[in-house]
Amino acid sequence: MLVPIKWLREYTDVNVPVDKWVDGMVLSGTNLESVEYWHKGISGVVVGQILSIEPHPNAGKLVVCQVNVGQEEPVQIVTGADNMKEGDKVVVALDGAHIPGPLHGKPKNPDGEIIRAGELRGVVSNGMMCGCQELGFPDKIVPVRDKDGLWILDDECFVPGTDIVEALGIEEPTVDFEITPNRPDCLAMLGVARESAATFGTKLRYPETVCAKVAPEESKDYIQVEIRKPELCPRYCCRVIKDIKIAQSPWWMQRSLMLAGMRPINNIVDITNYVMLEYGQPLHAFDIRTVRGGKIIVDTAKNGDKFTTLDGVERELSDSILMINDAERPIAIAGIMGGLDSEIEADTNMVLVESANFSGDCIRAGSRKLNHRTEASGRFEKGIDPNLAKDACDRFCYLVELLGAGTVLTGDVDCYPEPAKPAVTRVRASRINKVIGIDIPVQQMVSYLNALEIKTEVDGDVITCTAPTVRQDLHIEEDYVEEVARMYGYDKIPVTLPKGSIAGGLTAEQKYRVMVKDTLRALGFSEIMTYSFVSPKAVDKVNERENSYFRQFVKLINPLGEDTSVMRTMLLPGMMEVLGTNMSRNIPAVRFFELGNTFIDVPDRKEPELPTEKYSLCLGLFGEKENFYTLKGAVEQLLRAAGIREPEYRAEKFDKRFHPGRCAAIECGIYSLGAMGQVHPEVCAAYGIDQPVYAAEIDFEMLKELADISVRYTPLPKFPAMSRDFAMVVKEEIEVGKLEELIKKTAGDLLESVTLFDVYRGANIPEGSKSVAFNLSYRAADRTLKEAEVSEINTGVLKALKDRFDAVLREM
C-alpha cells in the first residue's frame, strides 16, 4: 500500500518526523516495505511559461522557445518536443540543474543528470523543458496526456519561477507498507490513517461527503436496481450525475494519485480512483445512455455467454460469474471489469456511478475463471466492508461537485437487503494479560481499543467489544489479545522463559542417524543435499531395470518442469550428478554421502493416504587413490559402526547400475541392504563422467531395522593365542569369502579369528591362479592350547581347503 504522507495528512495529523512515524507504524503492526522520496536529485528546476515558439533556423524538428521563468528576462530554450503551445506552463531545468532522469530516449543514469546551457544546431539553449519521466516519475504514473512529451502544468496553482519541488508539493515521501491479508481495511488511506491515529494518539478526520447543491431530479427517476443473487452481491448503491464535463483533474488530485502509484487520466476516472484509494471501495462509472431500460440487474451469467470488456477483449462467461446487466443485456462483469459499450466517452453527459459490494469468493472464482485480475477484483477478493459503499458513493459525488465535473442528482438508489452488523466479542482483561504475560489495567486496554474505533463496554473483567465493520479480522478473544499487545507495544512485553522443565533431546532413531553421519564424515565423506524431485528419466540414466520397484514414481501434478516432475525413488542419480559436477570442475578426488528421503508410490503402512517415504543412504567417490576396495573398506567400517555384525558381500553381475565384475550385493542374513561397486561405464557416460567412480546405495530403513548397536562386553583373554600362517594357491575364480567361510566352519570353536593378509598374482603362480595368505589365530578361554591340538585342527583346515577348492599349500 503506497501512502503519500502529504495525502495522509488530510485524514490525520502526522506530528513526528517521517522516519519516527514509520518506526511507530511498524511497531504497531503496519510493516514497512520501502520509502520513496520524490524530490531527491531535483534542484535548479522551476515552473516556466512559454511566451513564444519560433522555428529553429537550422533544424526542422527543433523549435526555439522564449520561456518566462520568473526572472526579468525570459530564457531561450531549444526543444524537440511538440506537445506544447504558447502560454503553456512547463517544467524548466535551468543551466546547472540536477534532475533524476532518465533523459528522453536515454537509459537511466543512477547518478541523475546535470543540465547545462549550450548550443543546439547553432542556437543557444539555456536549459531544458522536461517531461514528467525526466523528473524521476516512473512511466506508469505519468499523466496520460503528457506520457510522450513535455509535462504541461495547466493547474492555476503553478506560478512561473517557483521551485518545482515546492510547486508540485512533493517534499514528502511515499511510504510503501506491506499489508497482511487479515487487514484489507489498510489498503485504503483511511485505514492507514486509522492505524496512525491509534498509534500516535491523533484524531481521525473523515472526508467530506455532502454535496453543497444537488439538482432537483432524483437518481431513482433514472435507475432502478434489482439484486437477483443477494448472497453474491450484499449491496448495490448508485447515484446519477448530469452535465458531465470531462477534463483534467486539478494538480492536487493528480499528485495524490501519482504518488500513490496511479496514473491520472481525466477527472471522472481520477475521482473514481481517488475514492477507491481513500476508502478501499472500488467504484464504476457507466455512461447512462448505454444503460437500457433504466435498470440495473445483478445476476450470474449463463454458461457460454460472451462479453466484451472495456479493454476490447471478448471473454467467455460461465454461471459462476456475476454480471451487471441492464434491462436487456450485460454491461459489466461485477467487480472485475466494465464493458466496452458502457465506457465513459468524451461526449458522455450523464453518468451512473456504482458503489457496490460483491462477495470476495465470487469475484475470486470469476477472476480465476476469466484469468483476469484487476485492481478492483483484487480488493473485492480480500474483502470490503459493505457499509463503505454509500459513503464512497457520496464522496464521489462530492468530489464531482468540488471539481466542477458535473451536477449531482438528489438521493441515491441503495439496495442493501441485509446491512452488515458489527461483530461483538466478549473479552476478558485477565485473559489478555495472561496470554501476553503482562499486567495492565482494564482502563488502559479500553483506551487502546477505543483509539482503534472499537466500542467497548466494561463489566468488571469483561470488556464487550464492538468492532467497526471495516475491521473484518476481529472475531474472537485472541484477536483482541493482538490488538492490545500491539498497541501496548511488543517491545514493552517482558522477556521470560517458560516455567518448568521437561526431558528433551533426540530419539534413538535420530541418534542413530547422527551416528551414521558422524561415522561417514570420520571416513572422509562429505554430506551433500540434492533435490527431492527428479526427472523420471533419472532411473534410466542409472540403468535401473524395467519394472523395477524404483520406477514406482510419486508424480507431481504441477511440476516446474520435466526435470523435477517426480519424487526421487533412489539417491544414486543425484549423487552421479554431483560427482559429475565436481569432476567437471577439475576436482581430483571427492568422497560424498547423502542421507535423504526417497518416495515410492505405494501406500504408507501407517498413513495409507500418503505414499511410502523412507530414508536411503548413498555413498559416492572418485579419485586416484580410490578403488572398489577403498569404497568397500568404508562400507565395512560404516556397517560395523551401524551395528550390522555379519554383513555379507555377494558378487552381483546383473545390477546394471554397476560394472558387472565389480559389484557386490550387501546382505545381512536373508535381507538385502543394498549394492555397491564401480558405477557402470554407461551410467558414467550418461553423466559425462570419464573416469571410474564408485558408489553404494544402502536401504537405510533396513539398516536401522537390522542394527544391533548394543554393547556386549567380553573379558580380556587369560590364556595365550596360537597363530598359524599359511599361503595357498587357488584358481582365480575362487572367492576369498568362500575360503574364509570354509576355514571358519572347519576350524571350529577354537578359531578366534581368520585374517586374509596377502593376495598375490605373478611370478611362481600359474596363470589363472592366485596365492592367498591367511593368518589363523586359535585360542581357548579356559586353558593354554597345546601345539599338537592346534596343528591337528590346522591340518584339517588345509585338507578341507584342498578337497573343496583344490587349494595347494605354498611354501612360506
Nearest to 786 by CA among 719, 716, 727: 719
| Nine cell digits for residue 217 | 431530479
| Among candidate residues 143, 201, 166, the one with its CA nearest the CA of residue 12 | 201
Q: Quote the least distance from Cβ 368 to another protein, whole Å.
A: 9
Taking the C-alpha atoms of residue 518 and residue 459, their distance in angstroms, rounded to an integer, is: 62
The answer to whether 12 touches 203, Cβ cutoff 8 Å, is: yes
Footprint of another protein on residues 378-437 (CB under 8 A)? 381, 434-437
* Interior angle at CA 60, CA 58 and CA 63, nearest 5: 85
Q: How far apart are the first and last CA of the chain?
A: 89
Does position 691 bind another protein by CB under 8 A?
no
Residue 190 C-alpha cell reads as: 483511511
Out of 108, 555, 731, 799, point to the residue binding another protein (CB under 8 A): 555
Q: How far is CA 269 from CA 39, 144, 151, 393, 766, in A?
A: 27, 12, 20, 14, 100
**Segment 572 to 601, residues that bind another protein, using CB under 8 A:** 578, 581-582, 585, 587, 590-593, 597, 599
Rule CB under 8 A: choose which of 443, 510, 548, 691 binds another protein: 510
| Count, residues near another protein per rule CB under 8 A | 84
Closest CA to 69 of 117, 6, 129: 129
Print the binding letters for residues 431-470 with another protein: x by CB under 8 A, - otherwise. Answer: ---xxxxx--------------------------------
For residues 737 and 756, give the distance between their C-alpha atoms in angstroms, rounded to a whole number.
10
Smallest gap, in angstroms, from Cβ of residue 430 to another protein? 11
Contact status: 501 vs another protein (CB under 8 A) = yes
Q: Is 361 in the site for another protein (CB under 8 A)?
A: yes
Tell how strand 224-227 and strand 295-300 pair up: parallel
Binding piece for another protein, criterion CB under 8 A, among 62-70, 228-236, 501-509, 756-764? 501-509
CB of 379 to another protein, least distance (A): 14
Contact residue for another protein among 531, 629, 671, 757 (CB under 8 A): 531
Q: Which is nearer to another protein, 416 or 700 (CB)?
A: 700
Binding to another protein in span 162-201, by CB under 8 A: 180-183
Query: What are the φ/ψ torsions at residue 47 (nearest 5 degrees)?
Result: -80, 135
Among 360, 386, 647, 677, binds another protein (CB under 8 A): 360
| Minimal distance, residue 506 CB to another protein, in Å | 6
Q: Give the integer Cα–Cα distance in Å for 272 and 262.
A: 11
Looking at residues 109 to 148 of the shown chain, list those that interact with another protein (rule: CB under 8 A). none
Select from 502, 508, 711, 812 the one that contacts another protein (CB under 8 A).
Answer: 502
Q: Which of 122, 96, 85 is nearest to 43 (CA)?
A: 96
Whole-number minimum distance, CB 645 to another protein, in Å?
24
Q: Closest by alpha carbon to 805, among 762, 774, 764?
A: 774
In the set 15, 16, 31, 121, which binds another protein (CB under 8 A)?
31
Structure-block grid coordinates of residue 164: 518545482
Task: Give the dihedral of Cα atoms 181, 183, 189, 192; nearest 10 deg.
Answer: -120
Contact 246, 269 (CB under 8 A): no
For another protein, which is the closer residue by CB, 223 or 436?
436
Whether the CB-CB separation of 68 and 126 falls below 8 Å is answered with: no
Q: Does residue 371 touch another protein according to CB under 8 A?
A: no
525 binds another protein (CB under 8 A): yes
Smallest distance, another protein to C-beta of residue 593, A:
7
Paired sense of beta strands 215-218 and 407-410, if any: parallel
Q: Give the span between the Cα atoms of 228 and 122, in whole angstroms.
A: 72
Binding status of residue 40 toward another protein by CB under 8 A: no
- Residue 561 beta carbon to another protein: minimum distance, rounded to whole angstroms: 9
Position 714 contacts another protein (CB under 8 A): no
The reply on whether position 533 binds another protein by CB under 8 A is yes
From candidates 456, 564, 627, 630, binder to another protein by CB under 8 A: 564
Q: Is 505 in the site for another protein (CB under 8 A)?
A: yes
User: Closest distance between another protein and the C-beta of residue 610, in Å?
Assistant: 6
Is 485 a binder of another protein (CB under 8 A)? yes
Q: Does 508 bind another protein (CB under 8 A)?
A: no
State which of residues 557, 670, 788, 812 lies at the interface with another protein (CB under 8 A).
Answer: 557
Give DSSP secondary structure letters for 614-672. EEEEEEEEE-TT--HHHHHHHHHHHHHHTT-SS-EEEE-S--TTEEEEEEEEEEETTEE
Applying CB under 8 A, among 29, 41, 70, 112 the residue interacting with another protein is 29
- Cα(143)–Cα(153) distance, integer angstroms: 11
The one among 212, 346, 495, 788 contacting another protein by CB under 8 A: 495
Which residue in the set 567, 703, 739, 751 belongs to the binding site for another protein (CB under 8 A)? Answer: 567
Among positions 599-618, residues that touch another protein (CB under 8 A) are 599, 604, 607, 609-611, 613
- Binding part of the chain for another protein, among 100-108, 559-567, 718-726, 758-766 by CB under 8 A, reads 559-567
Q: Say if residue 100 is preceded by a cis peptide, omega within 30 of 0.
A: no
Query: If residue 740 lies in a helix (H) or strand (E), which one and from where to where?
Result: helix 736-747
Work out whether 558 is an interface residue with another protein (CB under 8 A).
Answer: yes
The yes or no reply on residue 17 touching another protein (CB under 8 A) is no
The CA dihedral of 111, 112, 113, 114, to the nearest 10 degrees, is -70
Q: Does 304 contact another protein by CB under 8 A?
A: no
CB of 547 to another protein, least distance (A): 22
Q: Are 92 and 77 in contact (CB under 8 A)?
A: yes
